[in-house]
């Protein structure tokens, strides 16, 4: 990947099984990305260095995934004016509610676009990044429209399948 438009940071490599869904989604749209592990608490200087230089390197959107007291997305947002999307990770006994609140409840002034906890959030963070990039990339916008169309097709097919199942079971 030579010209990453999306930067993805995760607080720990233990977040990767969830973050992977963001990568596969970006890849399916042909969007280039870069990924690194950087923690707001364990490696604050690394987070500051990455976030402070991302825009000048051509990155357009940053996705941050973190669990527990998840300050990563907010700290990144404090170092850049790029849009920052947060994925709360379920990493503790609190089931991800801790990271959801830590990521979403930013005080006014430094926004973080927070997605849902876990894999759905990872997929949607990537789709939202694609939507942001698509505002200035017509080809990507067309791909996003196709994706939505395919989803309509898939849901309709599920409904048809259910109809057959109900008929077979005399319901």
Asked whether position 91 contacts ligand RP5 by CB under 6 A, the answer is yes
Which lies closer to ligand RP5 via its Cβ, residue 10 or residue 117? 10
Minimum distance between the CB of residue 90 and ligand RP5, rounded to whole angstroms?
A: 8
- Listing DSSP states for the chain in one string gives --S-SEEEEES-GGGHHHHHHHHHHHHHTT--EEEEE--TTT-HHHHHHHHHHHGGGT--EEEEEEESS--HHHHHHHH-SS-EEEEEE--STTTTHHHHHHHH-PPTTS--EE--SSHHHHHHHHHHHHHHHHTT-HHHHHHHHHHHHHHHHHHHHHHHHHHHHHHHTT-
Minimum distance between the CB of residue 14 and ligand RP5, rounded to whole angstroms?
A: 3
Which lies closer to ligand RP5 via its Cβ, residue 101 or residue 144? 101
Which lies closer to ligand RP5 via its Cβ, residue 13 or residue 56? 13
User: Binding residues for ligand RP5, per CB under 6 A?
Assistant: 10-12, 14-15, 39, 66-68, 89, 91
């Amino acid at each position: 990947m030579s010209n990453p438009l999306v930067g993805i940071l995760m607080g720990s490599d233990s977040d990767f099984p969830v973050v992977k869904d963001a990568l596969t989604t970006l890849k399916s749209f042909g969007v280039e990305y870069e990924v690194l592990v950087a923690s707001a608490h364990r490696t604050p200087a690394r987070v500051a260095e990455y976030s402070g230089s991302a825009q000048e390197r051509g990155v357009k959107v940053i996705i941050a995934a973190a669990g527990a007291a998840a300050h990563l997305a907010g700290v990144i947002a404090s170092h850049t004016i790029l849009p920052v999307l947060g994925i709360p990770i379920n990493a503790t006994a609190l089931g991800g509610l801790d990271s959801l609140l830590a990521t979403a409840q930013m005080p006014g002034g430094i926004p973080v676009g927070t997605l849902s906890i876990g894999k759905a959030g990872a997929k949607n963070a990537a789709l939202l990044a694609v939507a942001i990039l698509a505002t200035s990339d017509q080809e990507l916008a067309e791909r996003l429209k196709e994706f939505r169309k395919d989803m309509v097709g898939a849901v309709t097919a599920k409904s048809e399948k259910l109809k057959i199942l109900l008929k077979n079971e005399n319901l």
